[in-house]
Amino acid sequence: MAEIVEKKTHWFQEGLRFHCTGCGKCCTGSPGYIFLSPDDLEKLSSHCQLSIEQFVDQYTQRVDDQISLIDTPGTDACIFLKNNQCSIYEARPIQCRTFPWWIQILDSKNAWERAAQSCEGINHPNAPLIPALHIEAECGTYLDNLLEQNFSHITDS
């Protein structure tokens, strides 16, 4: 895993600038999925004071062998985006937590600049310079989490 990250991240060894401005744009807009791992499910259900089964029923959808948060009905906004803010911020899924240190965004400078077009926090002039080592660790967490997202053992109700 570390090897994959290393190969993909050589271009940003000087670090990258990012801070979350809280604009909420990454939680809405074009259709997308927030995939959950078992750790995410445990943390989220406990945060919402629900059993895992209740949380799955109320807030998720099956997408092939994965589970994703649902959108607020009739919108492309995550069900937990309230007043343009994440209402479960402390328990937010690893996919959200590790943005923008995703392998597909770190793949090349071009991919990073493309992501910057829809996220004002990327390359923000007031953002701190995040060291490459930290970025690689976050990307590793994102990748490890991806491997945990198969829920084929859970049967549809």
Note the residues at the interface with ligand SF4 (CB under 6 A). 27, 34, 78, 80-81, 86, 88, 92-93, 96
Q: With 0-12 CB in 10 A as exposed, 13-18 as middle and 19+ as buried, what is 40?
A: buried
Cβ proximity to ligand SF4: between 96 and 139 the closer is: 96
- Smallest gap from Cβ 78 to ligand SF4, in A, equals 3
Complex with ligand SF4: residue 9 or 35, whichever CB lies closer: 35
Residue 73 near residue 61 (C-beta atoms within 8 A): no
Residue with smaller CB distance to ligand SF4, 29 or 128: 29
Query: Residue type for 30, please?
Result: S
Read off the amino acid at residue 77.
A
Q: Min. distance of Cβ 130 from ligand SF4 in angstroms?
A: 18
As measured in angstroms, the least distance from the Cβ of 110 to ligand SF4 is 25
CB of 3 to ligand SF4, least distance (A): 29
DSSP 110-131: HHHHHHHTT-TTBT-TTS-EE-
Q: Are 65 and 151 in contact (CB under 8 A)?
A: yes
Question: Alpha-carbon distance 95 to 145, whole Å?
Answer: 8
Q: Are 115 and 99 in contact (CB under 8 A)?
A: no
With respect to ligand SF4, which residue has the nearer C-beta, 82 or 109?
Answer: 82
- The nearer residue to ligand SF4, 8 or 81, going by C-beta atoms, is 81
The CB-of-14 to ligand SF4 minimum distance in angstroms stands at 28
